[in-house]
């Protein structure tokens, strides 16, 4: 088996997609892997948002990944990253479902996702009397 040539590489449809039913929206969405350019754009957006936000690097994390990965049947993105603020106003459970699939496809957030979830948990008050 020989090596791939330029045309063979550039003509490959190599972005996996996964359909996902969102009960809160009564319909399906199509979540896609993102290209290298789209990943760079997402990382730059997240870096800029973390500098602007007191929430730090996790500001708009779900909405931005949703915006970067939702596509139509032809693979065209439905949203721009600038739409993340509006997307963030949608149902959190719906966004979590899409985020989880998008993250599984793109492997963007690993341990960071676990840290995000740990940091977002409300600490429980200790009402023990020391016994």
pTM over 0.85: no
Provide the residue range defining the domain that includes 33.
Answer: 17-112
**C-alpha span between 37 and 22 (Å, rounded):** 28
Residue 4 inside a domain? The answer is no
Do 16 and 105 touch, CB atoms closer than 8 A? yes
Residue 6 inside a domain? The answer is no
pLDDT of residue 49: 77
Domain count for the chain: 1
The strands making up 27-32's β-sheet, listed across from edge to edge, are: 17-22, 27-32, 70-71
Neighbours of 126 (CB within 10 A): 7
Residues of the chain with pLDDT under 50: 112-113, 120-131
pLDDT of residue 1: 82
Residue 81 inside a domain? The answer is yes
CA geometry: angle 60, 49, 115, nearest 5 deg:
55
pLDDT of residue 122: 44
């Amino acid at each position: 088996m020989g090596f791939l040539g330029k045309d063979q590489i550039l003509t490959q449809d190599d972005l996996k997609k996964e359909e996902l039913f969102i009960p809160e929206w009564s319909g399906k969405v199509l979540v896609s892997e993102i290209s290298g350019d789209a990943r760079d754009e997402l990382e730059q957006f997240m870096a800029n948002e973390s500098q602007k936000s007191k929430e730090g690097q996790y500001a708009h994390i779900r909405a931005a990944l949703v915006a970067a990965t939702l596509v139509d049947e032809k693979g065209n993105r439905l949203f721009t990253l600038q739409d993340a603020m509006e997307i963030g106003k949608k149902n959190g459970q719906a966004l979590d479902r899409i985020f989880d699939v998008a993250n599984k496809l793109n492997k963007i957030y690993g341990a960071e996702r676990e840290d995000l979830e740990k940091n977002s948990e409300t600490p429980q008050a200790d009402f023990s009397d020391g016994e």
